[in-house]
Structure 1
């Protein structure tokens, strides 16, 4: 058994920011991630971030990852364990970790769950044909390994991920055959959508995928028009030839570890699924467990980073070792979150948080 003061599960933007808060404090920390690198989704993101200086505005995602990783590298109080999967977390404050052929046990006084989210799938006929990708897979291929999936791609989903990946495909010389969106309005930032429209990318609003066509590989996709209440209009279908289809229809919080600890959770559609009820310090109903990032509700990476800082500060206070600037920092990071959430694009998140309650949104 190895003992730590704090264990952070997840090394994406939220987990890295939590670790940054803890880096220069007199506490022992384990940061564990199943990938073989830190940074999570940031390392795949080549677009520049919006927002304030505190939100790393004007930096690209992979640049932000480098900044945060450099801030915690070589800190004597932080142990980093990569390529490791947390198999379980238990009520006696023990976690079990599988790394290669080793089985490790750690015990901690506080846990910060920053496990992020998984991509949602879309059900349609032949959705297992080769040539059908999730947006994260295409980002990994292009931005980590320099490989384009095909020379033409049809995108499903007009949220920020779908719009940004479409633009990245165009930059890589791939023809984007169009963007298929079930809703009547574009879900992502207008600035991203406008760039695609100027480049001639067609938008198929109020449409969804009916079936994929092909024998051994994707050759075409049949799309169908939807009514305002999302029912298919059987006589209004179109065939779009494409060699690849990218699915970007949202994310679901990876909250299984929180479920194992039986913390209070609610299903909130606007936040992506089952999420924990948190207080003002991102503390769950179990006082030893904190949560931050997409596991506590799907938001932008900028929000995940602010939430990571708050969770780190909360863990320090729980250990009765509060940061010397605790009150000032908590106020500042919550203010940054409010700015992000009260933009026109944060309305959905804000509505979900008010339904969830807890923290600054408690009734």
Structure 2
């Protein structure tokens, strides 16, 4: 049994920033990361970030990841366990971790869940053929393993992930034959879409995959148009030969540990699935357990890092570590989040957060009534 002040589950951008924030106030932090190296999605993101200097604007994701990892390893208040999968949070508060062929039991005073998200997939005939990947898997093959994943790719999804990975495929010498997007317009940033269009890659909005075909592996994809109710329009089929179909159709928060811990959950469409209800400190309905990053709603990595800092300051402050400074820094992080979510791109997230706040308020009202 190990006693820990702050346990951070997940060593991605949110987790690393949460650990750094809590440690900066004096708290002792343990990060459990299931991969062999921390960094999460940052380790394969070669594009430059937007935002402000505080969110590392102008730096590439891989450089940000290296910086955060180095800072964690150099901080005497932070311990990083890699190849450490958290397999349970139990009713007595004990957390079980499988670390390199042994089980470790941890008794944390505060827990910050930053487990991130998993990729969504599409259902269509032939979707089990070899050659059909999630965009994250393709990005890992290219940018982490150094493997050229395909010769001719069709991308599904024109959000930021689909656009960015398409451009990175082009940089790796892969032919991108097109991008298919079900929505009537592109969902990603215009700057990413413009680079794709300048490269001559067609973006078919209002289209979807009807079926994939091939004998022993993917040989091509049939796409078709969608009407205003997202129903396939007969007679609009196009046959697109390709050896790889890359799916970038969204992410789902990885909330299994939140469910197991007994956190109050709600399905919020704008946040991409079931998420834990959290207060202004990102504390869940289970006292002492916080949730930050994609596990509490899908956003950009910049927002995940700021949420991580906010949760880290809140957790350390609740343990008595410089509570005034913790409050000031938490307020500054909250202001950063508001700035990141301003404008049209943040409307969806803000709508989702309003729903979670309303559900949390209703829950508290019910509790008072009892």
After TM superposition, the score normalised by the length of structure 2 is 0.95
Cα distance in 2 for partners of 1:209, 1:323 equals 53
1:342 CA drift (Å)? 1.2
Cα distance in 2 for partners of 1:279, 1:320 equals 19
In the alignment, is the contact (CA less than 8 A) between 2:72 and 2:80 conserved in 1? no
In the alignment, is the contact (CA less than 8 A) between 1:263 and 1:284 conserved in 2? yes
Cα distance in 1 for partners of 2:82, 2:113 equals 16
Alignment match, 1:186? 186
CA RMSD of aligned residues (A): 1.5
Aligned residues: 362
Alignment match, 2:16? 16
1:358 CA drift (Å)? 6.3
As a proportion of its length, which structure holds more helix? Answer: 2
1:245 CA drift (Å)? 0.6
1:324 CA drift (Å)? 5.1
Any gaps of 5 or more consecutive residues in structure 1? none
Alignment match, 1:334? 334
1:362 CA drift (Å)? 6.4
Cα distance in 2 for partners of 1:156, 1:323 equals 47
Cα distance in 1 for partners of 2:297, 2:286 equals 18
Secondary structure at 2:177's aligned position in 1? strand
Which of structure 1's runs of 4+ aligned residues deviate more than 4 A?
none
1:317 CA drift (Å)? 2.0
Q: Residue deviations 1:281-337, cap 9 Å, x none?
A: 111111110000000000000000000000001111221224552232122211111
Alignment match, 1:86? 86
Alignment match, 2:122? 122
In the alignment, is the contact (CA less than 8 A) between 2:316 and 2:326 conserved in 1? no
1:76 CA drift (Å)? 2.5
Alignment match, 1:162? 162
Q: Does 2:227 match 1:227?
A: yes
Secondary structure at 1:138's aligned position in 2? helix
In the alignment, is the contact (CA less than 8 A) between 1:280 and 1:358 conserved in 2? no
Alignment match, 1:241? 241
1:23 CA drift (Å)? 2.4
Secondary structure at 1:88's aligned position in 2? strand
Within 5 Å, which residues of 2 pair with 1:345-360?
A: 345-357=345-357
Secondary structure at 2:236's aligned position in 1? strand
1:207 CA drift (Å)? 0.9
Within 5 Å, which residues of 2 pair with 1:1-363?
A: 1-322=1-322, 325-357=325-357
1:90 CA drift (Å)? 1.1
In the alignment, is the contact (CA less than 8 A) between 1:268 and 1:274 conserved in 2? yes
Cα distance in 1 for partners of 2:351, 2:211 equals 34
Cα distance in 2 for partners of 1:343, 1:323 equals 32
My pick for the range that moved more, 23-32 or 114-123, is 23-32
In the alignment, is the contact (CA less than 8 A) between 1:277 and 1:358 conserved in 2? no
After TM superposition, the score normalised by the length of structure 1 is 0.97
